[in-house]
């Protein structure tokens, strides 16, 4: 029997925190806990109470459609802080009326046809790991809602070893995808933190960022062609290694967040599994020095596969450091050649920028298909914390705290002042809603020759009954600060419903009109995910 997904939070049942993880968490978050808050127990299925579904399912689709409360509650939200709070509060607002899990692409087309006839909305659902309200039904639309879960489209259909590419169904979750590629000694090497419970189609639809931190950062780089089913029919782009033939069709689906069609499968560019690895940890007195050392690494064309900059407080929070130094974690890997040479140059650059550095050196060992590098110490502890973080987040939320993350990207010329301004605005907003004293930390998740992606984490005391209102005020303030400083509304978490205000400021008005026009062609009734990216 398969593992049971948690319907109220991240991941799987029975994979919560171990006793030692609980202790380590308590030590770190104790200063922020409001003693009057009673830790919330997770809801049980028997506590789910939803309004009756407003849609009947036609006989032809009945075998794979559910009107069951458990399935509907599990598909009501994604996995953001706000989603977990609402589930812990036992409030499932605007649940889907039906959860459809089509067995194949024809089934997806049948769902769209049925929903269109029934005047319903369809929300494409991959892993459901959205943290921006991307799989949630709109509040201001009275139409019945069908959540279209692609869980059965979960196979690698074909592997082209010569070109190093594979045709993969959109509902395939990260671990299944890598497991099916392993016999061919190939890997997609796309590892978002949500890898365990997010899907290829979701990655493409949200332009996901993997945790290889330079060069191939987003899923965009790996898409060779896509196929999508829309209310107006189905289309597929041509498989090409590159093309200058006008605007690329794939680009329209990348980041389309379910509004322009349901992605059913894609040809993806693959890589040989790396076996040579080497890594080093740079230690710095200031975050700025560490960030500028990371800039030097990528501007030198070294392309580290891991290049994270952790602020001292974040290093302490994740157990990667003791909080006295800012860390630069740099890792290199290759399937073809030893990587000691770029590592040695990276070490020099760290020292040139005021850091100290103890390289672990190179190694050669079989890849475990999970993006691990061969480093130990700080890098290992950080990686383990990174993968377990979602389970920690849910526990922190249960304890009554606010635990929010947001991320952006900015060019280097504006970097220093930008990070300071965003942090200040975040802290002021937290103070204004009484969520204080709080911890606001920053790390760089991705670095580019022309800029970086700062990622902020908030741990703050929450009001026993008003956490969502506090979150709303802080979220608005952070989005405004990011926009004021010229950063993007999101580097990889997507737009969904939560980032709409920031995204609306960022994109040119004429582009928004072009997007609406494209939507009208494939989905004139605004059947698919209305309110995400654009309004009906």
Site for ligand FAD in 73-132 (CB under 6 A): 78-79, 123-131
For the bound state, the minimum distance from the C-beta of residue 83 to ligand FAD, rounded and expressed in Å, comes to 9
In 53-197, which ranges are E strands? 65-66, 98-100, 121-125, 145-149, 156-160, 165-169, 186-187
Q: Which stretch binds ligand FAD (CB under 6 A): 50-58, 186-194, 329-337, 455-463?
A: 186-194
DSSP assignments along 167-224, one per residue: EEETT-BHHHHHHHHGGGTEE-----TTGGG-BHHHHHHHT-B-S--SSS-BGGGGEE
Report d(CA 98, CA 211) in Å as an integer: 34
Cβ 357 to ligand FAD shortest distance, Å:
26
Q: Of 196 and 333, which CB lies nearer to ligand FAD in the complex structure? A: 196
- Residue 195 CA to residue 186 CA, distance in Å, equals 17
Nearest to 166 by CA among 190, 133, 143, 146: 190
Q: Which is nearer to ligand FAD, 154 or 286 (CB)?
A: 154
Please tell me the distance from the alpha carbon of residue 325 to that of residue 236, in angstroms, as a whole number: 50
Between 357 and 397, name the residue whose CB sits nearer to ligand FAD: 397
- Using alpha carbons, select from 479, 468, 473 the residue that is nearest to residue 422: 479
The reply to whether 203 sits near ligand FAD by the rule CB under 6 A is: yes
Residue in 445, 168, 483, 415 with CA at minimum distance from that of residue 311: 445
The whole-angstrom separation of Cα 71 and Cα 97 is 10
Binding to ligand FAD in span 209-268, by CB under 6 A: 209, 211, 257-258, 262-263
Beta carbon of residue 99, minimum distance to ligand FAD (angstroms, whole number): 12
In the list 10, 276, 392, 406, the residue contacting ligand FAD (rule: CB under 6 A) is: 10
Sequence-distant (6+) residues with CB within 8 A of 270 are 164, 165, 166, 181, 186, 187, 188, 189, 222
User: x-or-dash pattern for ligand FAD, window 388-427, by CB under 6 A?
Assistant: --x-------------------------------------
The nearest distance, CB 510 to ligand FAD, in angstroms, is: 24
C-alpha 203/C-alpha 175 separation (Å) is 14
Supply the DSSP symbol for 253: H
In the list 494, 522, 527, 534, the residue contacting ligand FAD (rule: CB under 6 A) is 494
- Report the residue from 295, 353, 492, 497 that binds ligand FAD according to the rule CB under 6 A: 492
Task: Give the C-alpha separation, 38 to 465, whole Å.
Answer: 11
16 near ligand FAD (CB under 6 A): no
Q: How far is the CB of 44 from ligand FAD (least distance, A)?
A: 22
Residue 138 binds ligand FAD, judged by CB under 6 A = no
Stretch binding ligand FAD (CB under 6 A), from 202-210, 299-307, 325-333, 428-436: 202-210
Q: How far is the CB of 463 from ligand FAD (least distance, A)?
A: 23
- Return the residue nearest ligand FAD (CB atom): 202
Give me the residues paired with residue 410 across strands.
452
Contact 268, 421 (CB under 8 A): no
CB of 414 to ligand FAD, least distance (A): 23
Residue 56 beta carbon to ligand FAD: minimum distance, rounded to whole angstroms: 24
Q: Does 529 participate in binding ligand FAD (rule CB under 6 A)? A: yes
Q: Does 150 bind ligand FAD (CB under 6 A)?
A: yes
Q: Give residues with Cβ within 8 angstroms of 254, minimum separation 6.
A: 204, 207, 219, 220, 223
Residues near ligand FAD (CB under 6 A) are: 10, 78-79, 123-131, 134-135, 150, 170, 192-194, 198-199, 201-203, 205-206, 208-209, 211, 257-258, 262-263, 390, 492-494, 529, 532
């Amino acid at each position: 029997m398969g593992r049971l997904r948690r319907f109220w939070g991240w991941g799987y049942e029975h994979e919560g925190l171990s006793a030692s993880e609980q202790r380590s968490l308590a030590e770190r978050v104790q200063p922020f806990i409001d003693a009057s808050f009673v830790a919330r127990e997770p809801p049980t299925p028997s506590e789910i109470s939803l309004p009756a579904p407003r849609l009947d399912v036609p006989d032809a689709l009945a075998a794979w459609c559910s009107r069951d409360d458990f399935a509907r509650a599990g598909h009501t939200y994604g996995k953001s802080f706000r989603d977990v709070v609402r589930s812990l509060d036992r409030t499932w607002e605007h649940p889907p009326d039906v959860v459809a899990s089509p067995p194949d692409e024809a089934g997806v087309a049948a769902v769209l046809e049925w929903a269109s006839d029934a005047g319903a909305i369809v929300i494409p659902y991959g892993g459901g790991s959205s943290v921006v309200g991307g799989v949630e039904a709109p509040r201001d639309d009275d139409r019945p809602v069908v959540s279209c879960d692609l869980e059965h489209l979960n196979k690698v259909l074909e592997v082209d070893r010569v070109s190093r590419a594979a045709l993969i169904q959109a509902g395939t979750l990260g671990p299944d995808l890598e497991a099916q590629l392993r016999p061919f000694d190939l890997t997609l090497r796309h590892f978002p933190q949500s890898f365990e419970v997010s899907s290829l189609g979701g990655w493409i639809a949200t332009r996901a960022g993997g945790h290889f931190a330079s060069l191939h950062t987003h899923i965009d780089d790996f898409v060779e062609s896509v196929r999508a089913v829309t209310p107006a029919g189905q289309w597929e782009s041509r498989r090409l290694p590159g093309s200058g033939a006008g605007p690329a069709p794939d680009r329209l689906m990348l980041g389309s967040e379910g509004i322009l069609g349901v992605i059913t499968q894609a040809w993806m560019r693959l890589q040989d599994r790396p076996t040579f690895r080497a890594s080093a940890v740079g230690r710095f007195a200031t975050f700025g020095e560490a960030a500028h050392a990371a800039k030097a690494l990528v501007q030198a064309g070294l392309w580290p596969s891991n290049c994270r900059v952790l602020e001292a407080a974040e290093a302490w929070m994740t157990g990667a450091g003791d909080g006295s130094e800012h860390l630069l974690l740099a890792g290199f890997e290759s399937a073809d050649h030893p990587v000691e040479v770029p590592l040695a140059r990276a070490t020099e650059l760290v020292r040139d920028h005021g850091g100290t550095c103890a390289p672990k050196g190179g190694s050669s060992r079989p890849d475990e298909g999970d993006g691990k590098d061969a480093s130990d110490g700080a890098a290992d502890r950080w990686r383990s914390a990174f993968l377990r973080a979602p389970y920690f987040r849910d526990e922190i939320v249960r304890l009554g705290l606010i635990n929010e993350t947001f991320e952006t990207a900015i060019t280097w010329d504006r970097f220093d002042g930008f990070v300071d301004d965003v942090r200040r605005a975040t802290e002021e907003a937290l103070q204004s809603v009484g969520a204080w004293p709080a911890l606001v930390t920053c790390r760089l998740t991705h670095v580019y020759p022309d800029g970086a992606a700062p990622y902020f984490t908030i741990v703050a005391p929450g009001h026993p009954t008003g956490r969502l209102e506090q979150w709303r005020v802080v979220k608005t303030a952070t989005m405004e600060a990011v926009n004021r400083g010229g950063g993007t509304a999101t580097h990889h978490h997507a737009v969904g419903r939560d980032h709409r205000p920031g995204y609306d400021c960022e994109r040119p008005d004429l582009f928004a009109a072009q997007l609406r026009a494209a939507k009208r062609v494939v989905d004139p009734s605004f059947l698919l995910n209305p309110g995400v990216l654009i309004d009906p």
